[in-house]
Amino acid sequence: MDKYASYFLTYLGSNTVSVSPSLADRIDDLLPQTQCTKCGYNGCRPYADAIANGVASYNQCPPGGRQGVARLASLLNKPIIPLNPINGVERVRLRAVIDETICIGCTLCTQACPVDAIVGAPKQLHTVLLDWCTGCDLCIAPCPVNCIEMIPITEIATGWDAWSPQQAEAARQRHETRNLRIRKKRDQAQQHAASRHAILPVKLPPALEWALTAATTISASSLEVRLIALLKNYIAIRKQAVIKMALARIHNKKEELVAQGGVVPRNILGVSISIQEQIDATKAGQQSLD
């Protein structure tokens, strides 16, 4: 489903009612979608929202250049004004190139790229996809070994003369896909943290709280012995909780594998319940240390 599908609503499954895009939507359609942040905002859509809300000017997009300013001026029924030099200058189209002889595979550039145009894995060489790179140069600053260089791929053409609406739409879709993936990963991490918080004891056991309050009524040596014993017990309780949680994850993964018609590893077929429990406990212990 493309972005314009949201401009239509179906009423009672029969009559289709056309809904006009908002001003921010129309402004966003006129931006080059390089996601370079040179406008002062964290992407093209936030900049479009700022223009629509009257808190940003329409001359802050260097990748769009003079033609981009003219397009926005026409939409907003405002005069054509020069590009704000504070935000940068109009230039030929650039692309990032990674020197693979220097790259250390740190992945910082892949994390910085707003359109997933850099591919690579930790401790492996990275490369830039030519057709996907928007020339935003956001990958330059994070690189710890200065192995990335921006090179021109047009000799004269600048702004929209060096960039097509089709390329802009493709870049927007990749940026939205990336943002969706990041949000999903963040939500999963929060859910995982919440589940750990629910299982693991976060407060001191009552016995430890008692020991702290009794510190002024018993001898220091006796208190030290009691505290050491109670702390060992507390650590054991937390360890058991971690193993219990890991065992639950292993059990759930096995159930998902069976439900999806997957093949259960043959080395666990016919294994007794007691031995399987030992295997699961060992795996759980290893996962708790990861």
Task: Provide the residue ranges of all domains of the chain, joining segments of one domain with +.
Answer: 3-87, 94-178, 200-289
Give the torsion through C-alpha atoms of 30, 31, 33, 36, to 10 deg: 180
32: Cβ contacts below 8 Å, ≥ 6 apart: 44, 61, 63, 64, 68, 134, 159, 160, 163, 168, 171
Compute CA 140 distance to the chain's CA centroid, rounded to the nearest angstrom: 19
| pLDDT, position 65 | 96
Handedness of CA 283, 285, 286, 290 (dihedral sign): positive
Each residue's pLDDT tens digit, 138-166: 999 999 999 999 999 999 999 999 999 99
pTM for the full predicted model = 0.63
Each residue's pLDDT tens digit, 201-220: 555 555 555 555 555 555 55
For the record, the structure tokens of 41 come out as: 């905002």
Residue 116 backbone dihedrals phi, psi, to 5 degrees:
55, 40
3-state secondary structure of 246: helix
Each residue's pLDDT tens digit, 24-51: 999 999 999 999 999 999 999 999 999 9
Vertex 25 angle, CA 24 and 30, to 5°: 95
For the record, the structure tokens of 7 come out as: 């401009």
pLDDT tops 80 at residue 87:
yes
CATH 1.10.10.10 is the classification of domain 3-87: no
Fill in the DSSP letter of residue 92: B
Beta pairing partners, 18: 8
Q: How confident is the model at residue 286 (pLDDT cuts 50, 70, 90)?
A: low
| Widest CA span in the chain | 85
Amino acid at 20: S
| pLDDT, position 9 | 42
CATH 3.10.20.340 is the classification of domain 94-178: no
Answer for the pair 62, 91: CB distance below 8 angstroms, yes or no. Answer: yes
